[in-house]
Structure 1
Amino acid sequence: MTRPTRSQTVLAPPAKAAIFLVVTVRPSAENDIRELLGDVSGLVRAVGFRVPDADLNCVVGIGAQLWERLYGSPRPAGLHPFRALEGERHTAVSTPGDVLFHLRGTQLDVCFELAYQISRRLSGWADIVDEVHGFKFFDERDLLGFVDGTENPEGIAAVDAVTIGDEDAEFAGGSYVLVQKYLHDLDAWNTLSVEEQERAIGREKLTDIEIPDELKAPNSHVSVNTITDPDGTQLQIVRDNMPFGSVSAGEFGTYYIGYAATPDVIERMLQRMFIGEPPGNYDRILDFSTAVTGSLFYVPTAGFLDDQPPHSSGDQPDSGEPPEPDRSPNTSSDNPSDGSLAIGSLRRTGTS
């Protein structure tokens, strides 16, 4: 049967606020999460109707292990658990994640209300293992002080960058999303001169102009994250990064979120960042930014979520009698932070 291909709002207008929820689903809760996934679009409409100008939307991603529990096979060709990378000095960690809820809009209040309504539905059968509240920082800058996302593709190029096509026809119209939470050592970063910071990033700090190739450091963030295919065509993704932080906790960071038609592109960028090409030429920014989470998800079409297929066996996986639900409140991970593929004006996010 051909699945509906109406897409989620992966390409959205610029957001001034966002909440990222990464969730793990408890055993025997498959029916509950399926019901919630089918209801997300209705929750967005109900909350967003109260403040139409807030442009509220929510993208849902499903992790590899939960996909197996909910749908069996086939599964999206590129879907697998996030692969940790260990370089000479820095590590890209892999952390648990069954579902990603990426909430965004022009106001934090509607994002918070939607997150609250989702959390109510999760209570007793799933746990929020990471929660990050992001905000726009001045003129689209990160907390390192640089404009974030200058090289995001636009228009048809953006659609092509994030949309699965005929190469995986069963899942055409969907996308992949990879998330990492980076914590910055601002004290160390701010000891650098502006010129040293610009060398690490590969752009001028004030003007956002890219440093010429002949002057750009080979381990700058821009150099490392610029990759091409064999014919020299630059491979692109769409980033929707957001700054976050807690002044009292001394926590300052960037929530990295990259959408792509295949995770191969993002994974190659991370390989170059953490391992280096050649090995040892790692991204200079990692000396000041530490990845503390890492998860990969498939973003199904909105039509798929509204009309989900049964598990490939025809039934839910047999896990025995469901236990009595634990109605204790959801909690975040050890590093808490308070801080449908529609085409619109694209957010200039992700420093590259």
Structure 2
Amino acid sequence: MSRRTPIESQRVDAPLTQSATFLVLSVADGPDAVRTVRSALSSVDDLSKNVSIRDLDASFACTVGIGSEVWDRLLPGISRPAELHPFPKIEGKVHTAVSTPGDLLFHVRAQRRDLCFEFERQLTDLLGDSVKVVDSTVGFRYFDVRDLLGFVDGTANPVGQAVNDSVLITEADDSNSAGGSYVVIQKYVHDLKRWKSLSTEKQESIIGRTKFDNVELDDQDDDKQKPHKQLANIEDPHTGAELSILRDNMPFGNPGQGEFGTYFIGYSRKLWVIEQMLERMFVGNPPGLHDRILDYSTPLTGTTFFVPSATVLAGLGDD
């Protein structure tokens, strides 16, 4: 009886670092581009080791996501993940979650910006003209893990074993995609001038937490306007248990150009959990009562990817 090869997951659970790059690419047409991209993806682990060896304490990691539109071109012999589809445009009465293109996501992070830079340089050298940059955003840690709105971000993240339980697909979920994860990205820009015009109490009522010490405020009744924290809580329809995702959000911006933002990136074992969070934010729960943070934060992008196992990535160079 043959023994099945163990599945190794990508570093979805890598720790939050001081710096990160979110690199979204599109793949050019033609078989040559596909061969080049497959070869580069199979080399990500070697590239990561080549960069991380320069500072073993810098927590370097790179996670690769592959989009729905390019899946069949890059992985023709591998079954499409059960929930993988393009990011759905979500239109509320006031705000819209836009859907934007993207074939590949590289989530690069380290305690040092130069390590991220060097990895990106070596990666783009390998990819060459086989790809085009859709978006490249550099994020940074802001004080004690706060966003540019001034609130602690990621408080609800799972910890310990709960991380894997929340983000990694199991054999029972989808045997062909075991060890992988879904990831959704959105690039938000903030109107800080209008946000800062609000009182601290008003800001706290929108977020659902106190600003200074990050204490949760009481939930609102079902028929009332809910804070961001409450709208983002999704429960299992069968057990009632709260379902978690892993957020690795990062602030980004350029004060000289008036740019202030948050790069949302959420990993999940079940894509529908993130999509339901966004539905509740933009449409409202009940409908019409949208997340008031959207009155001050506008999404510029919205893309869904699947993070295959490291085992799958490593085999892409075996044409």
State the TM bucket, normalised to the shorter chain.
over 0.9
How far the C-alpha of 1:77 sits from its partner, in A, is: 0.4
Structure 1 unaligned residues grouped into runs of 5+: 316-352
SS of aligned partner of 2:256: coil
* The structure with more helix, counted as a fraction of residues: 2
Moved more, 123-132 or 182-191: 123-132
Aligned to 1:304: 312
TM-score (norm 2): 0.94
**Alignment length (residue pairs):** 311
Tell me: CA distance 1:59–1:196, structure 2 relative to 1, closer, same or farther (3 Å): same
Q: Contact 1:227 / 1:235 at 8 angstroms: preserved in 2?
A: yes
Determine if the alignment matches structure 1 residue 129 to structure 2 residue 134: yes
What pairs up with 1:320-335 in 2 under 5 angstroms? none
Determine if the alignment matches structure 1 residue 81 to structure 2 residue 83: no
Tell me: CA distance 1:3–1:285, structure 2 relative to 1, closer, same or farther (3 Å): farther
Which amino acid in the other structure matches residue 224 of structure 1? L
Aligned to 2:122: 117
How far the C-alpha of 1:227 sits from its partner, in A, is: 1.5
What pairs up with 1:80-159 in 2 under 5 angstroms? 80-159=85-164
Q: Contact 2:187 / 2:302 at 8 angstroms: preserved in 1?
A: yes
Q: Contact 1:176 / 1:298 at 8 angstroms: preserved in 2?
A: yes
Determine if the alignment matches structure 1 residue 5 to structure 2 residue 7: yes
What RMSD over aligned residues (CA atoms) do the two structures have, in Å? 1.7
Quick one: distance in 2 between partners of 1:3 and 1:168? 17
SS of aligned partner of 2:316: coil
Which amino acid in the other structure matches residue 157 of structure 1? A
Tell me: CA distance 1:5–1:203, structure 2 relative to 1, closer, same or farther (3 Å): same
Q: Contact 1:3 / 1:303 at 8 angstroms: preserved in 2?
A: no
Quick one: distance in 2 between partners of 1:120 and 1:132? 19
How far the C-alpha of 1:280 sits from its partner, in A, is: 0.7
Aligned to 1:229: 236
SS of aligned partner of 2:206: helix
Deviations 1:273-296 (A, max 9, x none): 011122111111000000000110
Point out which structure has higher relative CO (alpha carbons under 8 A, 6+ apart).
1
How far the C-alpha of 1:4 sits from its partner, in A, is: 4.9
**Which aligned runs of 4 or more in structure 1 are off by greater than 3 angstroms?**
1-4, 214-218
SS of aligned partner of 2:182: strand
Tell me: CA distance 1:270–1:214, structure 2 relative to 1, closer, same or farther (3 Å): closer
SS of aligned partner of 2:99: coil
TM-score (norm 1): 0.85
Quick one: distance in 1 between partners of 2:234 and 2:313? 33
SS of aligned partner of 1:180: strand
The counterpart of 1:69, out of the listed 54, 68, 73, is: 73
Aligned to 2:295: 287
